[in-house]
Amino acid sequence: METFPVLDSYCNYMLAVLGRSELTVKEYRYDLIAFFRFYKQDHRLVPAGTEFNEIDISDIDEKTLNRITTDDILIFLIWLSRERKLSNASRARRIATLKSFFKYCHSKKHIISTNPAYDIETPKVGKRNPKYLTLDQSKELLEQAYNSPKESNERDYCIVTLFLNCGMRLSELRGIDIDDIHDDILTVIGKGNKERTIYLNDACLSALDDWMAKRATLKIKPEHKKALFISKRGTRISDDMIQIVIKDLMLQAGIDTKVYSVHKLRHTAATLMYKYGHVDIRNLQMILGHQSVSTTQIYTHVDDEQLRKAVRNNPLADFNPDDE
């Protein structure tokens, strides 16, 4: 996909300096490409009738960047709301992207004289409980992976097991190397290039043993020898391939893939640990690698049954003055 030098350097800055994940940078790049395509279309800088996804932005230069105004951004946000029907949460992400990009252009690169996104307000986004699989759905997904007739079933079952037991992000799981595992301790690199420790339970260790036995029979390219999860081409498995694997297994398990995705497995792991494992919120924060405990607290609101049980177990629950 053709972009332009400043956008490329911004994405490299996000990866190398800010330590953002490849998936996050991919989303930011997508948002910015959409904005600049809209800008060119709105200012009639492309022939009439040009398909939106065919608009070339490789000619965006410093002169163009300096012409962009706050109104241009506001019109883009209105278009996202009216034409693309994006929610407040989705528009908030686009605003965050634009703020970050233009701050980079203004404060880091000094290629624009003013920051057009500086005063853009972010819409209020109501807190939503995370969507997660039930315990029964999780078991069904694991069974589908375990019993799959595919040649990759040991790998796929191990991937699902780690997701549901450890609450890892997609990028964290894909990036695991063999030497990141020592006995029951796994070290992963999370957001902001921060390292954290995950302790593996019996299910994870068993799935890893089965996969490692299968992995030993594969022909792996020399530059990918360290990668834990390998594709059929002998290379480290990609983000897209993991998403395809999980989506296929969810469909086989009768799980709605319009609602549930790879990231929902992280929510599921956190919810199951909190609901059934009675994990302390601070410990759950450490397991998930959240910078702030306030992020982890979304999992304290998901179990209404626990609240009902707490009220039922109140020692005054059976008190009736008429019986006295």
Whether 175 contacts 187, CB under 8 Å: no
| Amino acid at the residue 294 | S
CA 111 to chain centre: 31
CA atoms within 13 A on the CB side of 214: 21
pLDDT tens track for 144-171? 999 999 999 999 999 999 999 888 889 8
* Residue 163: partners with Cβ closer than 8 Å, 6 or more residues away: 173, 246, 262, 265, 266, 269
**Which residues are bridge partners to 177 per DSSP?**
227
**Which residue among the candidates 106, 169, 174, 267 is catalytic per the annotation?**
169
Whether 142 contacts 165, CB under 8 Å: no
**Which residue among the candidates 40, 266, 267, 274 is catalytic per the annotation?**
266
pLDDT tens track for 79-125? 988 888 887 778 888 999 999 999 999 999 999 999 999 888 877 65
CATH number belonging to the domain at 5-108, selected among 1.10.150, 3.40.630, 1.20.120, 1.10.3470: 1.10.150
CA atoms within 13 A on the CB side of 242: 24
Whether 268 contacts 133, CB under 8 Å: yes
| All structural domains of the chain with their residue ranges | 5-108, 135-304
- Quick check: is 106 catalytic? no
- Quick check: is 196 catalytic? no
- Quick check: is 299 catalytic? yes
Question: Please, what is the Cα angle at 94 between 87 and 196, to 5 degrees?
Answer: 100
pTM above 0.85, yes or no: no
CA distance 300 to 270: 10
135-304 has which CATH code?
Answer: 1.10.443.10
- Quick check: is 312 catalytic? no
**Which residue among the candidates 131, 191, 224, 247 is catalytic per the annotation?**
191
- Quick check: is 278 catalytic? no
